[in-house]
């Protein structure tokens, strides 16, 4: 008896036993979440209703005041805008570069194994180190990027990569893309391995060129993984802290301050954990809205 996806787990005892096995298999995951994350999650939301002094985690109840203050001020909305700009731009680049690189590394090229290792390097290296190196490369006095551009005549004066707009936002988007596109590469490369050859053969017989084969065979096969990769990367990029904090600190002024930077500033700079968690919860709600819409779309795609 085959267990297709359409079978229902109702009266049949075999089906019920299978369902129980299914539940048992997911149980460890669920247990780990409940045990580890639920308490911090709930306490973070709870703390947002208080005025908390970070070093002692003590404070008095203020209800929704933190939120009121937050939404009434400029800083939150500007930070939200920055976060959206950053996320959309860097995610787009990560996906496009990631898929392109994966396709490229799927072909036979010389020293392919080495090429794959090297292209994954940005993802391997720790963010803090990567940012320090990039700041060095971007430096106006002894950085090699400006030096090369001056030497080749592209520029007359060194460029201020990080301290003015729109350079600052562009720089962090580029470094963000560089840092995380290998994640897309890993996932897509793995999926590419399992696309059966005969699909490509059939397409070639039908007269499809390289682009045609990509659009008609590769892309549909990649769709599932790609949708998940986009979802995961979007969440991760939205929450990104280290890269932006160390690269520009949110400057100039708050032109590159994203919500995670604001949370950190409130939590540990201003010692106001209550306000920080309020920003965090607001962040979560924004992401939740996008996530629900996205998952619904994903569900519809899969049902087709």
Interacting positions 264-293 with other proteins (CB under 8 A): 264-265, 267-271, 273, 276-277, 280-281, 283-284, 287-288, 291
Shortest Cβ 248–other proteins spacing (Å): 7
- For residues 195 and 208, which CB has a smaller minimum distance to other proteins in the complex? 195
Gap between the Cα atoms of 270 and 66, Å rounded:
14
Shortest Cβ 63–other proteins spacing (Å): 18
Which position among 62, 120, 217, 243 is part of the footprint of other proteins (CB under 8 A)? 120
147 to 166: interface string for other proteins, x by CB under 8 A: x---x-----xxxxxxxx--
Shortest Cβ 90–other proteins spacing (Å): 15
Shortest Cβ 89–other proteins spacing (Å): 18
- For residues 89 and 188, which CB has a smaller minimum distance to other proteins in the complex? 188
- For residues 90 and 127, which CB has a smaller minimum distance to other proteins in the complex? 127
Residue 207, phi then psi, degrees to nearest 5? 95, 15
Q: In 3-state terms, what secondary structure has residue 50?
A: strand
Residue 51, phi then psi, degrees to nearest 5? -105, 95
Residues 236-255 that bind other proteins (CB under 8 A): 239, 241-242, 248-254
DSSP code for 214: I
Shortest Cβ 65–other proteins spacing (Å): 14
Nearest one of 103, 244, 95 to 184, comparing CA atoms: 95
User: What would the two tokens of residue 280 be?
Assistant: 């965090």
Which position among 12, 23, 81, 212 is part of the footprint of other proteins (CB under 8 A)? 23
- For residues 201 and 206, which CB has a smaller minimum distance to other proteins in the complex? 201
Give yes or no for a contact between 229 and 184, defined as CB atoms under 8 angstroms apart: yes
- For residues 213 and 239, which CB has a smaller minimum distance to other proteins in the complex? 239
Shortest Cβ 205–other proteins spacing (Å): 15
Residues 81-100 that bind other proteins (CB under 8 A): none
- What 47-53 contacts at long range (C-beta under 8 Å, 24+ apart), as own/partner pairs, is 47/273, 47/274, 47/277, 48/274, 48/277, 48/278, 48/280, 48/281, 49/274, 50/274, 51/272, 51/274, 51/275, 52/272, 52/273, 52/274, 52/277, 53/271, 53/272, 53/273
Check binding of 2 to other proteins (CB under 8 A): yes
Shortest Cβ 87–other proteins spacing (Å): 13
Shortest Cβ 293–other proteins spacing (Å): 12
Q: Quick count: other Cβ atoms within 10 Å of Cβ 202?
A: 14
Check binding of 49 to other proteins (CB under 8 A): no
183 to 222: interface string for other proteins, x by CB under 8 A: x--xx-xxx-xxxxxx----------------------x-
Q: Please, what is the Cα angle at 251 between 153 and 55, to 5 degrees?
A: 145
Burial 64-81 (b: 16+ CB within 10 A, else e): eebbeebeeeeebebbbe
Number of residues that bind other proteins (CB under 8 A): 140
Check binding of 72 to other proteins (CB under 8 A): no
């Amino acid at each position: 008896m085959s267990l297709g996806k359409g079978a229902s787990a109702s009266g049949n005892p075999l089906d019920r036993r299978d369902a129980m096995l299914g539940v048992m298999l997911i149980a460890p995951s669920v247990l780990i979440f409940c045990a580890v994350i639920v308490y911090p999650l709930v306490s973070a939301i709870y703390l947002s209703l208080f005025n908390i002094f970070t070093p002692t985690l003590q404070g008095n109840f203020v209800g929704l005041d933190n939120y009121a203050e937050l939404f009434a001020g400029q800083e939150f909305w500007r930070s939200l805008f920055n976060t959206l700009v950053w996320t959309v731009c860097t995610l787009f680049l990560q996906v496009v570069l990631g898929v392109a690189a994966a396709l490229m590394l799927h072909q036979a090229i010389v020293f392919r194994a080495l090429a794959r290792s090297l292209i994954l390097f940005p993802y391997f290296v720790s963010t803090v180190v990567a940012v320090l190196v990039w700041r060095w490369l971007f430096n106006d006095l002894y950085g090699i990027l400006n030096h090369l551009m001056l030497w080749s005549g592209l520029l007359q004066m060194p460029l201020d990569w990080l301290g003015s707009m729109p350079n600052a936002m562009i720089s962090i988007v580029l470094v963000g893309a560089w840092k995380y596109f290998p994640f897309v590469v890993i996932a897509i490369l793995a999926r590419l391995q399992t696309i059966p050859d005969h699909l490509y053969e059939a397409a070639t017989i039908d007269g499809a060129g390289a682009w045609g084969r990509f659009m008609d065979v590769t892309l549909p096969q990649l769709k599932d993984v790609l949708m998940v990769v986009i979802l995961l990367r979007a969440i991760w990029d939205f929450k990104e802290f280290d890269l932006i904090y160390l690269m520009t600190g949110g400057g100039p002024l708050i032109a590159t301050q994203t919500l995670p930077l604001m949370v950190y500033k409130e939590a540990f700079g201003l010692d106001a954990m209550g306000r920080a968690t309020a920003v965090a919860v607001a962040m979560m709600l924004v992401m939740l809205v996008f996530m629900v819409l996205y998952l619904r779309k994903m569900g519809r795609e899969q049902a087709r």
